[in-house]
Amino acid sequence: MADYTFTTITGQVVFDYGRCRQCREKPCVASCTAGILKLEGDGPVLAMDAAQVKKGKCTECLACELECHFRGAGGLHIELPIPGLDAITGVKRDVHFN
C-alpha cells in the first residue's frame, strides 16, 4: 500500500508506512547522500521541494531501496519503468527489491 510517494526523473519512490513503523533504524534516510529524505514521525518524507527532486535531485541511485531491503523493514520500493520493455517482453516490470 502506498502511503507516500514522490516523483523522480523517470519514475517514483513509494513508501508503505505500515512497514516503516516496524523499522527501528530507518536506514533509508542516512543512505541518501543527496540528502533528500528526512523523518517525520516514523515515516520518511522529502526534505526538499518535490519539483527539485523530480528535476534530478533524486539521482535514482537505488541506495535507499537497497538499505531498506537489507537493513530496514521493506517499506520502500522504486518504480523505474523502461519505455518499450512491456511490448518486448509481454510483462510489466519495475525495479523492485521489496
Task: For the CB of residue 13, give the shortest distance to ligand SF4 in the complex, in Å.
Answer: 6
In the stretch 20-49, what mask flags binding to ligand SF4 with x, by CB under 6 A?
x--x--xxx--xx-x-xx------x-----
In the stretch 54-93, what mask flags binding to ligand SF4 with x, by CB under 6 A?
----xxxxxxx--xx---xxxxx-----------------
Task: For the CB of residue 87, give the shortest distance to ligand SF4 in the complex, in Å.
Answer: 26
DSSP structure string for the chain: --SEEEE-SSSEEEE-HHHHTT-SS-HHHHH-TT--EEEETTEEEESS-HHHIIIIIS----HHHHHHHHHS-S-EEEE---TTHHHHHSS-------
Computed on alpha carbons and rounded to an integer, the radius of gyration of the chain in Å comes to: 13
Residues that bind ligand SF4 (CB under 6 A): 13, 15, 19-20, 23, 26-28, 31-32, 34, 36-37, 44, 58-64, 67-68, 72-76
